[in-house]
Amino acid sequence: MKQRTLWSAVLVAGLMATAGCGSAAGPGSPAGGSGDKLVVWDWKSGDAKAAGYVEKAKADFAKKHPGVDVQFVAQPFDQYYTLLGTAIQSGKGPDVILFNGGGQIRDRSDALAPLDSYVAEDRQRLAGWEAFSKAGKVYAAPVTLQGHPFYYNKDLYQKAGLNPDAPAKTWADFVKNCGTITEKTGAKCFALGNKEGYGIQFFLSAMGSATLTAQEYDDWVAGKRNWTSPDVKRIFELWKEAGDSGLNNDGVNSTAMFNDEFALFQSGKAANVIGLMSDVGHWKDFAEFIAPDKIGVMQAPVVNTAATPSLPYDGGIGYAVAKWTKDPKLAADLVRSLTSTDALKTFYADGGAITSDTSIDVSAGGPSVKTIVSEVKAGKPALHVALSSKTLDLMGRLSQQLLSGSTTVDDAVAQLAASDTTG
Amino acid sequence: MTDVAPPSLSPSGLAAPTTGVRPQATAPPRRNRVGSRAERLAPLVLVAPAVLVIVVLRLWPLLLGINFSFTGDGDRNGTAVGLDNYLTLLDDPLFRTALGNVGLLVLLLPVAVAIPGLLATFIHLKVPGHRLYRGVYFFPAVLSPVIVGAIFTLLLAYDGPLNSLLGGLGIGPVDWLGDPDVAIFAVVGVHVWATFGMALVVFLAGFATLDSSLLDAAKVDGASLPQTIRHVIVPGLSRTIQFVFITTMIGMLTSMFGLLFVMTSGGPEGSTYLPEYYIWTQQGQMNRPALASAASTALFLIMLVVGLAQIAVLRRAAGKED
């Protein structure tokens, strides 16, 4: 009996002793593909719309580096960052990684190799680098641009007796027009889905340039965010007012943005929507239901006369190189092939994405896409992209509370300020 | 083990060198020692595979996870931070909501057990169409939570069929999945709908062991249905009821992720968070794996306490019966 206890004690003691030494967060050991093989992780290459793009990029890379095997692994987007987190923890994984711009890549920049020296030649040709940079270093090359144009349904404006080619310039006029549209056509002002808390992000970025002064806007993006400024507070007040005064569709907090919100806009149940430029919820998606020439893109209606509205946009998705890859130069060359003009042209034509290469001719896409591309030059980084994932998550929940009335704007802004300063 | 005395301590073993008269006397113990050593090692060798599987695949990762929960995230990756992660958890209103929801699930457990129990009773009492109901009730149990979630997201949408129906009855629309006070009940309700078929089958199996003469006797004595249920069926099925309680509890705490993910994404206002969903968000979305480990450890401890409490209750009840 005594001996049995001894055995167990030795077993447990041994386990405990070794448990103390090991850390699951050990330093990443270099691994990844071998010298003549590169592994790419993304959530795009499995999509039929991106097949042509991937082919073009592969061909371009094969010309420069014949004999290097490139393998694309398409992961499900739902679990993408979970899988990537596991790979980063173990310090092993793909050589080239697709990222969303903003928080998603900045939070993981420790695991990536800076690309500045490899992509210097592309800096002028491509737009949207800011979203893939941290502390002055670039970690990925932008493929698409992602932003939040203010779309409107010209048909509904026309039916309500408004001039579809002269949308409201100020917030007051915009709300007045919405009243007319709802009265005449029964359509709501905004299509909005905030189930996941994304609605507020789009709203913040779209209305930001029409509410903040240029100085406040630039400070925000640069990380000097003044949450107590009346202009910042005004954006959240607008969000609450829009909900309280019935501008939004019903059941905002249980409506999914993808794709119930956009379905409401496409089916003419709402006159305006703050959408996207690329991938989904954008001009190409809408054009399947609304004639392309009936989709309008307007500047955000001015709230503060000291503000100048501009298109909020950033690099949307971009390819990064993992720190643990054997030959960063080779991997960076693959990234350059993935952002070559030819490949991006195919991505625009097949997938309807506004790519980072703004020299691509988009005139065939209809008036809305032309307006968007023309606004890119004067555009600025979106406000919400500058926030950490933690603050965005909190903002999503607070935005739901603002709509349901269980918190006040003052309290919400105070909580966001606290979250933003602690990182 | 106990029937063979350890040879080194046997009196003959100690006595042999001192007397030196009967050298043979040491031989049998020596043989004994060899035999008993094999005998002693045999059980260890035999249980080794099972122990190794448990230790290597269960306990070891568990200890690594617990160890990991005392390290930091982001800039502090890999450095020991003591109880910081646990303090962060306690300070996070979202995690507190998640724990509160666990408590709510425990409170709702009797309802989740009563529904299949009652329906099984009706089927056992052969209400008209009981054969059909038996199949129909079991049907949702074969659907994946994601599909169930998608179906009910459509049904419970603000402009969905259920609200149209209520509107027709003159009742105002309810934002089933958008109202923080209602959403968790909507999700639990759907979970019960989707899983009660399995409990129903267990109950029906329990009924098969019920002595039908007792039911007949109750009928002859003129017992009403509630009286029959209270005095005949519930005492007769106490073991089954306990089993269903435990399995339903485990199901509620561990397999609601799919439904939450599809139906509410933890919202609205974070009101439908459960620890599992919290862990997933922190690890995958917020890139804070160490904090997620701390939350996992906390969830493990909760499950351990709940599990031990249930075993205790089960043991006491079983002792009373047998």
- Percent of chain B's residues with pLDDT above 70: 88
**Could you say which of B22, B37, B68 is where a domain stops?**
B68
Considering its fold, how many domains does chain B have in total? 2
Query: In chain B, what is the straight-line distance between the N-terminal and C-terminal CA atoms, in Å?
Result: 30
The token pair at B282 is 């922190």
Amino acid identity, position A259:
N
- Residue A248 confidence (pLDDT): 96
- Residue B36 confidence (pLDDT): 83
Residues of the domain holding B290? 84-321
Average pLDDT, chain B: 85
- What is the interface size between A and B, counted as CB pairs within 8 Å? 120
Instruction: Please tell me the pTM assigned to this model.
Output: 0.80
**Is B259 contained in some domain?**
yes
Is it the case that residue B284 has pLDDT exceeding 60? yes
Q: What is the pLDDT along chain A (423 residues), one digit of tens a residue?
A: 445 555 555 544 444 444 434 344 333 333 444 458 999 999 988 888 889 999 999 999 999 999 899 999 999 988 899 899 889 988 889 999 999 988 789 889 999 999 999 999 999 889 889 889 998 999 999 999 999 999 999 999 999 999 999 999 999 999 999 999 999 999 999 999 999 999 999 999 999 999 999 999 999 998 899 999 999 999 999 999 999 999 999 999 999 998 899 999 999 999 999 999 988 899 989 999 999 999 999 999 999 999 999 999 998 899 999 999 999 999 999 999 999 999 999 988 888 889 998 888 888 778 899 899 889 888 999 999 889 888 999 999 999 999 999 999 999 999 999 999 875
**Is B75 contained in some domain?**
no
Amino acid identity, position B163:
N
In whole angstroms, give the CA distance from residue A58 to residue A337: 7
- Residue A343 confidence (pLDDT): 93
**Is B129 contained in some domain?**
yes
Question: Phi and psi dihedrals of A103, rounded to 5?
Answer: -55, -40
- Residue B254 confidence (pLDDT): 80
Using only the alpha carbons of chain B, give its radius of gyration.
29
- Residue A122 confidence (pLDDT): 92
Shortest CA distance to B181 belongs to which of A401, A183, A299?
A401
- Residue A3 confidence (pLDDT): 54
Q: Does residue B211 sit in the same domain as residue B301?
A: yes
Q: Does residue B152 sit in the same domain as residue B187?
A: yes
Which member of A16, A25, A255 has the closest CB to residue B78?
A25
Q: Does residue B90 sit in the same domain as residue B51?
A: no
**Is B227 contained in some domain?**
yes
- Span B55-62, average pLDDT: 94
Q: Does residue B99 sit in the same domain as residue B177?
A: yes
Q: What residues form DSSP beta bridges with A151?
A: A273, A297
**Could you say which of B18, B38, B68 is where a domain stops?**
B68
Tell me which residues of chain B, numbers 255 to 294, contact chain A at a CB-CB cutoff of 8 Å: 264-265, 267-270, 280-281, 283-287, 289-290, 293
**Is B200 contained in some domain?**
yes
Q: How many other β-carbons are positioned within 10 Å of the β-carbon of residue B247? A: 15
- Residue A7 confidence (pLDDT): 54
**Cβ neighbours of A198 in B, within 8 Å:** none
Tell me which residues of chain B, numbers 84 to 143, contact chain A at a CB-CB cutoff of 8 Å: 94
Mark out the alpha helices in chain B (DSSP H runs). Answer: 11-19, 27-54, 60-68, 84-91, 93-124, 130-138, 145-155, 161-168, 183-208, 212-220, 225-228, 234-236, 238-254, 257-263, 275-280, 289-321
The CATH number covering residue B156 comes to 1.10.3720.10
Contact: A89, B280; criterion CB under 8 Å: no
CB burial of residue B307 (10 Å; 0-12, 13-18, 19+): middle
Mark out the alpha helices in A115-255 (DSSP H runs). Answer: 116-119, 154-159, 171-185, 199-211, 214-222, 230-244
Q: Does residue B30 sit in the same domain as residue B169?
A: no
In whole angstroms, give the CA distance from residue B298 to residue B11: 53
Q: Does residue B51 sit in the same domain as residue B199?
A: no
In B, minimum Cα distance to A264 occurs at B159
B30/chain A closest Cα distance in angstroms: 20
Q: Does residue B162 sit in the same domain as residue B287?
A: yes
Contact: A254, B270; criterion CB under 8 Å: no
- Residue A199 confidence (pLDDT): 95
3-class secondary-structure state, position A182: helix
CA distances B41 to A176, B35, B37, B48, Å, are 88, 10, 6, 10
Least confident range from A2-16, A375-389, B37-51, B84-98: namely A2-16
Q: Does residue B158 sit in the same domain as residue B199?
A: yes
Lookup result for tokens 């990925």: A140
**Is B79 contained in some domain?**
no
Contact: A24, B1; criterion CB under 8 Å: no
Rounded to two decimals, the ipTM of the complex is: 0.77
Contact: B287, A397; criterion CB under 8 Å: no
Q: How many other β-carbons are positioned within 10 Å of the β-carbon of residue A167? A: 20
Q: Is B24 on the interface with A (CB under 8 A)?
A: no
Contact A99, A317 (CB under 8 A): yes
Q: What residues form DSSP beta bridges with A321?
A: A96
| Angle at alpha carbon of residue A70, lines to A120 and A90, rounded to 5° | 85
In whole angstroms, give the CA distance from residue B38 to residue B32: 10
B52-60: Cβ within 8 A, 24+ apart? B55/A11, B55/A15, B59/A15, B60/A15, B60/A19
Q: Does residue B117 sit in the same domain as residue B185?
A: yes
DSSP 8-state class, residue A37: E
Contact: A195, B177; criterion CB under 8 Å: yes
Q: Does residue B114 sit in the same domain as residue B243?
A: yes
Q: Does residue B52 sit in the same domain as residue B160?
A: no
CA distances B79 to B63, B121, B201, B226, Å, are 17, 58, 51, 62
Shortest CA distance to A131 belongs to which of A322, A386, A334?
A386
Q: How many other β-carbons are positioned within 10 Å of the β-carbon of residue B176? A: 26
Beta-carbon contacts of A349 under 8 Å, excluding residues fewer than 6 positions away, are: A52
Residue B242: which pLDDT band, with cuts at 50, 70 and 90? confident
- Residue ranges of domains in chain A, CATH in brackets: 37-146+314-368 (3.40.190.10), 149-310+387-422 (3.40.190.10)
- Residue B206 confidence (pLDDT): 92
- Dihedral of the CA atoms A384, A387, A389, A392 (nearest 10)? -50
DSSP 8-state class, residue B6: P
3-class secondary-structure state, position A142: strand
**Is B102 contained in some domain?**
yes
Contact: B178, A393; criterion CB under 8 Å: no
In whole angstroms, give the CA distance from residue B292 to residue B68: 10
Q: Does residue B170 sit in the same domain as residue B293?
A: yes
Is it the case that residue B319 has pLDDT exceeding 90? no
Beta-carbon contacts of B103 under 8 Å, excluding residues fewer than 6 positions away, are: none
| Angle at alpha carbon of residue B156, lines to A287 and B181, rounded to 5° | 120
CA distances A332 to A72, A326, A327, A339, A348, Å, are 15, 11, 9, 11, 22
Contact B284, A79 (CB under 8 A): yes
**Is B73 contained in some domain?**
no
Identify the contact set of chain A against chain B, taking CB-CB distances under 8 A. 1, 3-4, 7, 11, 15-16, 19-20, 22-27, 79, 81-82, 85, 89, 107-108, 110, 195-197, 250-256, 260, 389-390, 393, 396-397, 400-401, 404, 406
Is it the case that residue B159 has pLDDT exceeding 50? yes
A85/chain B closest Cα distance in angstroms: 7
Contact A377, A310 (CB under 8 A): no
